[in-house]
Amino acid sequence: MATVPDRLLARPAPAAARRIATAQLDATAAACARLADRKDAEALHDFRVAVRRLRTTLRTYRQSLGRAASKKMRRRLRDLGRATNPGRDAEVQIAWLGARRDRLARRERAGLNWMLKQLKETDRGASRTARTDVRRTFLGLDATLRKRLEQIPEHGGGGGESFGAVAAPLVLARLEEVVDRLAAIAGPADDETAHEARIAGKRLRYLLEPIAKEITGGRALVRRLKALQDLLGEMHDVHVLGAELAQGIERAARAKARELHRLALADDARALDRARRRDERLGLAALAGLAQRRLEALYATFVRKWREDGGAEQLARDVRTALAAYLGPAAVPVEIERKFLLTRMPERARTAPCVAIDQGWLPGTRLQERIRRTRAADGTERYYRTVKSGAGLERVEIEEETGAGLFEQLWPLTEGRRVVKHRHEVRDAGNVWEIDVFEGRDLVLAEVEFPSRAAAERLAIPSWLQAVLDREVTGEPAYLNVNLAG
């Protein structure tokens, strides 16, 4: 990682963003210079990582960086990174396959050798092109970007927001994307979603790295995100390799057919017999099986660490804590609640104040944006627009009251993602229990919010609720309102 100056959060946003981008540009230039040495096996990888870090900074802080972060500049950096993809994929696949030679039977190694030969030819061509073309292209980009960065005042012009005030909500938005995408991964075959989650996690890590020394637990957060990136990265690499092996089996079959035809026409019986006994497809099929089993094992590890053990929840909580420590807790609104599944509506709730609620979710996956209309017993209606992220005991919640006009405009967009329910509020021992009875389904939930995590952990279930209590469902995605919508 590039060496970034200390104490960035208190600096003016443009000056701090300039310092980060300049340090990352220096690191990219140093990695680019190493591409000239063909013996430097890590140069291409380091250059790729440096380009990604730089592009993430330019995209995230484009408002602060102005022309230095123009769309054209970011697009050229994107294309530069993509030019290195074929060589990188081949390098990873060669290493993975080579490490599994001893796990193949002797007859199966012909398939391994055939595949390695194909990949090495791809690697040689891609690496040679990348090292030459990328270096030439980057030199022009470096000069242009460096000149534009130098035009940003080194110490800021006075006034304006601090870098911390600008960075924190951007980090929070990226965190919400990571949590959302992690929750969406459906299984080991869901490579697209898992890859998107990895990219989101990597970008969050790149945002945290320059300020890790200044926020609570920052270095540990970076390490945790790196571990997530490695896990999802290997899942993606193995998935890509599996597809390559499937194609390899087809290519090997066609090559074998051509070889057998040629030998048959040449009337070379001994060579024909040897070719028949040497079947590369056996080894390729065995490797495909190894890849599939590795993918399933990696997914099981992901589920255990990031779902069953609450890894995603803990990450979200720790990032929010780190931001709140700098900006103050009010800057990152957090909803702390516990939720319970009931067998029926409690008798005590029947006489409690009740409001009818119509709520729906707008399209989108990165944030859960909800609009809501409440109608009290006297006919009074109120309207709200809410953004939520996360799951479990603590979640980010940002809510504002709005008007009927905006609600009526947005409501049609929520079709197919709506919930209608009646909420009864029961006050007990300082807590406000919200008993939700859902229309159109046999479902009753009880929720209670707390001012702190400690208060939530001290909760004693009142006797009137225990009589109808099925179980606690805090943190179970199936009981989030957004997942109940239909």
Q: pLDDT tens for residues 452-473?
A: 677 788 889 999 999 999 999 9
**Tell me, what's the pLDDT at 211?**
93
What is the DSSP track for 410-462? Answer: HGGGGTTSEEEEEEEEEEETTEEEEEEEETTSS-EEEEEEESSHHHHHT----
pTM score of the predicted model: 0.65
pLDDT of residue 486: 77
**Nearest CA among 278, 348, 327, 346 for reference residue 164:** 327
Query: Is 273's pLDDT higher than 80?
Result: no
Q: Which residue has the higher pLDDT, 224 or 430?
A: 224
Nearest of 225, 237, 141, 142 to residue 191 by alpha carbon:
237
Cα separation of 10 and 13, whole Å?
8
Which tops the pLDDT comparison, 272 or 285?
285
% the chain with pLDDT above 70: 90
| DSSP 8-state symbol, 106 | G
> Class assignment of domain 13-317?
mainly alpha
Question: Which tokens hold the place of 356?
Answer: 């009818």
Q: Which CATH architecture has domain 333-484?
A: Beta Barrel (2.40)
Confidence of residue 29 (pLDDT cuts 50, 70, 90): very high
Beta strand extents in 228-328 (DSSP E only): none
| Segment 438-452 mean pLDDT | 88
Residues 383, 404 contacting (CB under 8 angstroms): yes
CATH 1.40.20.10 positions along the chain are: 13-317
Question: Which of the two residues, 131 and 45, has the higher pLDDT score?
Answer: 45
Are 358 and 345 in contact by the 8 Å Cβ rule? The answer is: no
Task: Flag whether pLDDT at 387 surpasses 80.
Answer: no
pLDDT one-digit tens code per residue, 335-345: 678 999 999 99
Residue 380 is classified by DSSP as -
How distant, in Å, are the alpha carbons of 44, 99, 103, 301, 451 from that of 235?
21, 17, 20, 11, 40
pLDDT of residue 430: 76
> Binning pLDDT at 50, 70 and 90, where does residue 41 land?
confident
Q: CB of 462 within 8 A of CB of 429?
A: yes
**pLDDT, tens only, 166-221:** 898 889 888 888 888 888 898 999 999 999 999 999 999 999 999 999 988 899 99
Give yes or no for a contact between 423 and 355, defined as CB atoms under 8 angstroms apart.
Answer: yes
Dihedral Cα 163, 165, 171, 176, nearest 10 deg: -170
Say whether pLDDT at 389 is over 60. no
CA 23 to chain centre: 25
CATH 2.40.320.10 occupies which residues in the chain?
A: 333-484
